Every structure is written in C-alpha cells, then in structure tokens.
Amino acid sequence: MASDTLPGRVLARAPWSPGAWRDTAHAASGAPLQLAGWTIMAAPWLVWTPVSTLPVTAALLLPALLVLVLLRPATHAQRERMWAMLGLDVPAPAPRPGGPLRGPLRALRTEDLWREVRYHLVVGPLLACGAVGVLLAWTAGAALAAVHAYAWALPPGGPLAAGGHAVRLGLLTAAGALLLLAAPWLAAGVRALDARAAVRLLGPDPAAALAARVADLAGKRADVVDAADLERRRIERDLHDGAQQRLVSLALNLGIARATLTGVPDDAMRAIVDAHEEAKEALAELRDLIRGLHPAVLEDRGLDAALSGVAARVPVKVRLAVDVPERASSTVEAVAYFVVSEALTNVVRHAGASVVDVAVRRDGARLLVTVADDGAGGADPARGTGLAGLARRVRSVDGTFRIVSPAGGPTTLTVELPCAL
C-alpha cells in the first residue's frame, strides 16, 4: 500500500491530513479524564491548607476514596473513547469481587484495580502532558507561521512589528512551519502510547487472559478426549451387539452344517469347512478389535479384572498387582488399560523377557502405572515401537510418561495419570 512507504507515511502525517486531526482530537479529548484523578486529589489543598492531623488525614483519604469510587466510570469512559475515536475495542476484565465500597479489602487486592489506578494516576497524567504538548505545538506553530499576517498590528518598534528585522521574522515563520509539521507526528505518538496503555492497563491482564485461555484449551482438550472415549465405547457396543453376534451366528450355523451334513460333494464340504474357519478367524479378529477399542469388562468391573484378562492372554509370565480402592474416571482408566496392554505387547514382540511386573495403584489424586521387564532393554520411543503413540495418549490427559531402558535391560515404564479428570 502507498501509506506503507516513506512518502505515504509523510503524507499521512501532513498537517492537513484527516489522520493528524483525528490523532489531535483523540489526545485532546483524553486530557480532561486523564487529569481528573490528580485534580480530585489536589482539590482540597487548593481550597484550604490543613495543619492538624485529622484535617490532613481527611484531605488525603477522602479524595482517594472519591477516586476509587469514580475509577470504574472513568475507565468505562476511556474504553468508549478508544472505540469512538480509534475503533479500538478494549474489553473489560472479568468482574471484580464487589466494588470499591462493597468489600473494599477484597477489591483493593485485585490486580485489575491497581492496573486501572496506574493508568489514571501515573500513565494518564503523562499522556495528558503529551496532549498539552500537541496542542501547544499546533497553536504555537500556527501563531509563528502566520506572524507576517499580524505583525502590522503589533506595537511599533517591537521585535516582531511590521518593518522589523526580516531575518528574525523569517526564522520565526520557519520555526512555526516546523512545529506544524511536527505536531501530527507528536499527536500520532501520543495516540499510539495511549492505545497501548489502555490495552495493557484497562483491558484484561495479559497473563490472566493467557492463563484463562490455557485453562479453556485444557478443558476443551479434556472434552475432546472424553468424547473420543465415549465414541470408542459406542463403537465397541455396536460391534459387540451387532457384527459380533452375526458372526457368532454364522460360525455356529457353518459349524452345524459342517458336523451334520452328509452326502455332500467334497468341493461343497471343503467350501463349508473353509467358510467355517474363516468365520472363526474373523470372529477372533473382531473380538481383538473390540478389546482394543474399549473392553466391556473395563467399564463393568474396573482395571483389576480388565488387566487380569490382558495378563492371561500374554505368553509371558506376568505378575500383576492392582491397588485402586477408588475408581478413576473412565477416560483415565482407559488410558491406564491401553498403557499396560501396549507395554505388554511391546515386551512380547521386542524385549524377549521371561517375566513382567505390572503395578497399578492410586496415590491420592494420581494413578501410578509401572511396567517392568527383565528383557534385552534398548526401548526407544523414537524407534517406532508404539511407545511414541503411547506417550501421546498419556499426555492427552495431562499425564507423565517415563521409560528407562538401558541396553541389556531391564526396562521400566512409569506413567502417572491425574484422577481428577
């Protein structure tokens, strides 16, 4: 865009440009509000001069209380000014716990309140001084640039009178022109500083907003994890009650046909036998798939029963110890189940171990899962053994995943899962 180039920026800051007048109007409109706090604080001392302790205390405390009472309306007015003159939306922070007069001790402890105080009593007055400088630059620049127009009306013999020193008048005119050229830049600087201060001090606290955003994302992620777990359980139920039952019925009918039919041609009998075997294999694969999605026994009877079934199917000696007096959420239980199941699968495929110790226990708000084997070791999540996916599954519920597997073994996998989910 043209305004992004240096000539474009210079033209945008020309004294006759709309931007220059907008920035000047913005700075001038903010000065009364920005000086209001110190005007209230100084008002008693301009009217009278207290000398004793009680009047001095009253002259200090009463204006301070009045500033606190007017703080919220003044902040609202500043936000509206930002929106009306700059199109800048400065959202209000979360509501404070009571106003300055209701629960004052609680209100005085809020960071939002003190950020507003810093704006109205520290940053605002400095910006108001900048606004005064902007107005002085405009007025002084206009007065000096037009000195030739009114020099005739000045007292005769004066330094600026008509017919006076031409060089002096020329220098004053040039100084006025420079002030007129500088005024838009000064106004733009005051506007930029005011907008930045309003966002940082009158809007939500960036740290609190980030913390709220992180908490919101964590909550949404937990909802997504729970929804995925619920969907897996729904698919498991549909497969168990639908496709699995049909396969059972098919395998049963084929088995009956295989056992009872006589006088059937060899080719037909061979087809029946092959179909029966395929149906049984498909049924076995479907059962494994259902267990991999979400075993029904986990939901019905908990981790102890579900992990006992996993340990019984593994062709390695498994010493299982489950101490979970109070069940965790279904999502956390599912993660713990799959951690143990995948870890045992890795042991069978890669470790060459003779015995595996599996311990699951609840420690307060944590569920601790430990899988240790006496195998060859050298397990590395980066080598594609399923450990990386296991670590991602654990982190999806804000758990921690650790594995110690030196070459030659043993290998110990430790997982901690929060039970508060």
pLDDT bin (cut points 50, 70, 90) of residue 276 is confident
DSSP helix/strand/coil, 175: helix
Q: Quick check: 105 pLDDT over 60?
A: no
Instruction: Please report, rounded to a whole number, the percentage of residues in the chain having pLDDT higher than 70.
Output: 77
CA distances from 343 to 242, 350, 359, 372, 416 (A): 30, 10, 12, 9, 15
pLDDT bin (cut points 50, 70, 90) of residue 99 is very low
Instruction: Please report, rounded to a whole number, the percentage of residues in the chain having pLDDT higher than 90.
Output: 3
Beta bridge partners of 363: 366
**122-126, 186-190, 310-314: which has the minimum mean pLDDT?**
310-314
The pLDDT, as a whole number, for residue 230 is 65
DSSP helix/strand/coil, 412: strand
pLDDT top residue among 192 and 255: 192
Q: Which two tokens stand for residue 239?
A: 């497969």
Per residue, the 3-state secondary structure of 215-256, as one string, reads: HHHHHHHHHHHHHHHHHHHHHHHHHHHHHHHHHHHHHHHHHH
Q: Which two tokens stand for residue 292?
A: 């991999």
- Nearest Cα neighbor of 191 from 140, 137, 130 is 130
> Most confidently modeled of 1-10, 167-176, 383-392, 410-419?
410-419
CA distances from 98 to 102, 103, 109, 207 (A): 5, 6, 11, 22
> CB of 342 within 8 A of CB of 386?
yes
The pLDDT, as a whole number, for residue 294 is 60
C-alpha 279 chain-centroid distance? 51
Q: What is the pTM of this model?
A: 0.51
> CB of 176 within 8 A of CB of 145?
yes
- Nearest Cα neighbor of 298 from 347, 345, 335, 323 is 335
pLDDT bin (cut points 50, 70, 90) of residue 232 is low
Average pLDDT, the chain: 78
Report the alpha-carbon distance of residue 339 to residue 45 in Å, rounded: 73
Report the alpha-carbon distance of residue 347 to residue 373 in Å, rounded: 7
Q: Which two tokens stand for residue 409?
A: 């073994």
Q: Which two tokens stand for residue 100?
A: 């300055």
pLDDT bin (cut points 50, 70, 90) of residue 246 is confident
DSSP helix/strand/coil, 289: helix
pLDDT top residue among 7 and 88: 88
CA distances from 382 to 315, 342, 385, 387 (A): 26, 16, 8, 8
Report the alpha-carbon distance of residue 78 to residue 33 in Å, rounded: 8
Mean pLDDT over residues 402-409, rounded? 83
